[in-house]
A and B are shown apart, each in its own frame.
Chain A
Amino acid sequence: MSENKDVISVKGVTKVYSDNGVPVDALRGIDLTIRTGEFTAIVGPSGSGKTTFLNIISGLDTCSEGEVWLNGKLLSRMSGRELSDFRRDSIGFIFQAYNLIPVLTVEENIEYVMLLQEVPKKERQRRVSDILGMIGLAGFENRLPSKLSGGQQQRVAVARAMVSEPAIILADEPTANLDSTTSGALLDMMRDLNRKTGMTFVFSTHDENVMERAQRLVTLRDGRIHGDKHINVAG
């Protein structure tokens, strides 16, 4: 494994759930490597194992068998606290339902991870201000999420995921609740940030918009990789 370039490396990963005592194979021997800066979409029908795969490569869930290496670290060797710190410093999450903390303002939501990282206040304010400018929400700092549209909330979620400058952004169906225009604009923004910052993006999605913009399409079906296609996207 070339640890400098392979940001995610998955070897022989399986995941078996117990559904009322009945074992269910969610993932069946996944091998996959994702390199730094890739804009990858994991696609497949519902129940194919996309979300499970994202949960496992982020350390939110554990695999039944196999190894997951992230940024050169073997996740199974990390304690709960190390995993938390690793996610805090290396991974940004974007969820389908935005999942901003409703009692925190836009600014507080974005700076939350930086608070965990103990970034000084001035630096936090500078980064929040910069990223709000980048996502077109300057002036929305003190609004609560409930006062934003779905698209605006998801942009704040993107900002929250990116502001701490993690190596990897994992997005679980980030456009599922957005109309096509909004989702297109959001994806263009993320693609642009991907080009500018070199962050690695991994999406799980059904959305054609995502697939059109992805550099790489990994297709999952019944817990197995059914296809892995690199696409040359202009720009």
Chain B
Amino acid sequence: MASLSKAVNTVQMTPKKLKVKRFVPLENPTNTYLTDEKGIWAWLTTVDHKKIGLMYLGAVAFFFALAGFLAIALRTELWTPAKTFIEADTYNQLFTLHGAMMVFFVLVPSIPAALGNFILPMQLGAKDVAFPRLNLASFYIYAFGAIFTFLSLANNGFDTGWTFYTPYSSDTNSAGIIWVTLGVFILGFSSILTGTNFITTIHKLRAPGISWDRLPLNVWALYATSIIQVLATPVLAITILLLAMENILDIGIFDPALGGDPVLYQHFFWFYSHPAVYIMIVPGFGIISEVITTFSKKTIFGYWAIALSSLAIAFIGFLVWGHHMFTSGQSAVATTIFSFLTFLVGIPTGIKIFNWVATLYRGSILMKTPMIYVFIFIFLFSIGGFTGIMLGALSVDIHLHDTYYVVAHFHYVMMGGTLIALLAGLHYWWPKMTGKMYNEPLAKFAAVLIFVGFNVTFLPQFIMGAQGMPRRYYNYIDQFTPFHQTSTIGSYILAVGFLVILFYLAHSLIKGQKAGPNPWNSRGLEWQSTSPPDFHNFSHTPVVIHGPYDYHQPMEEFQLGLAVDHEYGDEQDEVAAEAHASLDTETTEA
């Protein structure tokens, strides 16, 4: 392994011993990443992956609140079949903005750039990601892209739907579309930089002993995600660039009036945007794998099956984009092939679900908030997944295409999947990130509110969609009124749920109880550091001799580090190297 330190290399040459000590993390760390550098300027210029992760988390939360607020406005408008309180044109702009923001500003960066940034280097025992300055740059590129989107709103806005389909998007003479597409173009670079950074970090910065078969599944998931980010995002970039040129110069590649092909745009767009939904959901799978083992106190069932199914999803995800275009007029042969390939995605996803459920079997399950979110995830995501298979079936899709059924399916996988997983991860790692606990009963209450609110909002949309209610419509016929009204009430319950979360998390920051280094008694490497962690994550170079889910091994064997002098750090219970003679070779081989 390339990242082994010189110290280890010398050990390899001199007969056996790697000198290992036990490092028990401090209960009350005095020196943490939060106290290391202070002031707003230190935050804005930091290259620390933990602070950048938190800045991303703040930005994502901000955009989620904004786009969520739009969703509430949209649902309120749909209370009556005709106008309730917004004009039709505004309505079109609002649902476009809701979709574009939720996809590009919230879901894509949410887990990798916010939680992943914080947790990935810690799970690898690294001090930082491979390119810390690029990491900071990616955050500012993200902010810059956001500014462009707001500029678009100041320039007539855009009402194309988040997919920017041509020729409507290229013919509409609105400066707003140019601004927002350039904004999305810029955001893509932020995503690419994060992906590049993660791939390099995972390959080159693993601590001694973390071989590929000891990678936490969260890392495997982020690895698969990063591959998709690097391979798919540039295609979106060039598509968006061509669209902008189409708008500015009329170069005629997508515009049928000039001899171009609008369906080519759809191919380009979905070549990115279908893999992009896996950019959003696969990191969620990683979080679920982490949380489910910690709260079952049991080794994960089917480690390799889960790890490789992430890669399989990344691979198959590139071959199914045509299922968004069954009604676009692409050839019947292509349509049939895309339909069959779409069914294939169900296999690796199913493998994951079965392995998670098998992990629960005979575990000692601890029903804490993150675990409750895991159960919500499995329930909602399974519904979302199955309805996805139905939409992949050709004949069914012709009926359901562009109806509320698609809207409901997408929200079940993206909100019921990604966002619930994000909440699971946020509650799971919150003590690590802040050093504080949150109010557990309130957190459980909020989880129940969200679960109920979510289903009340989106289950009626499946029924409406199956009965033919088209998506994106401002008016609807009277027979859909009860469904729309139920859905609107559900969205209010959801909103209350999120407000409760906001309340107790803010409360936890100010008055939360001290969490201690490892409140869940996890075997994961990130929990063997103080809470909140040291600026360098660990006061020592961690040495790993077990997999991250080996709950049958004693805790002290997870608290090892290289016995090299450090400026700070708390060295206790020196575990004699002889006592772990077997681990010497194991570690150095890795």
Determine if chain A interacts with chain B: no
